[in-house]
Amino acid sequence: MKINFLMSILLVACLRGVGVAEAELLLFGGSGHDEFLGCVDCNEYSSESVCNEYGKFGNDYSSDSIWNEYSSFGNEYASQSPWNEYSTSKSVPVLVDNQGKFYGYFTINSYRSDAVDFSDELGKLYESLSGDLEDIREAFCDAF
């Protein structure tokens, strides 16, 4: 678990490196990116946080959660999922701040030129935890 924790720290450092000091980082998915998928760096108890396992966006049973392996946004084979390492779909979630600044597609497909800067680290975390979204959420969120 030590390696996973270190990877989480690296991922957070990359997130902070995108230049967002006080703005919230938000995920939007769907064909027009009009489906709100949660806040990445909000307080874990916020109802909008992807880290709130009891909330709509952090729950591994919610259809609006990137942590639900059976949903369009969590299934590793779905074109809309950040966990599909081959997806080039324009409906993969995007990361924006609350001011509307675009940071890239939130995906583990590091070959996308329009992917977030930390897609490599996100992919390494995904791979190191064998694609277990519950463990990935825990490692990802523990780093905040």
pLDDT the model gives residue 142: 85
Structure tokens at 33: 């990116």
CA distance 139 to 8: 6
CA distance 64 to 78: 14
Query: Total domain count for the chain?
Result: 1
Structure tokens at 121: 């680290």
**Residue 129 burial by Cβ neighbours in a 10 Å radius (0-12, 13-18, 19+):** buried
Query: Residue 130 belongs to what domain range?
Result: 2-142
Instruction: Give the orientation angle of helix 119-128 with respect to helix 133-142, to 10 degrees.
Output: 130
Neighbours of 133 (CB within 10 A): 20
Per-residue pLDDT of the chain in tens (144 residues, 90 and over written 9): 445 544 545 555 555 555 545 679 999 999 999 999 999 999 999 999 999 999 999 999 999 999 999 999 999 999 999 999 999 999 999 999 999 999 999 999 989 999 999 999 999 999 999 999 999 999 989 876
For the beta sheet containing 35-39, the strands, ordered from the edge strand earlier in sequence to the opposite edge, are: 35-39, 25-29, 94-97, 102-105
Evaluate whether 114 touches 105 at the Cβ level (below 8 Å): yes
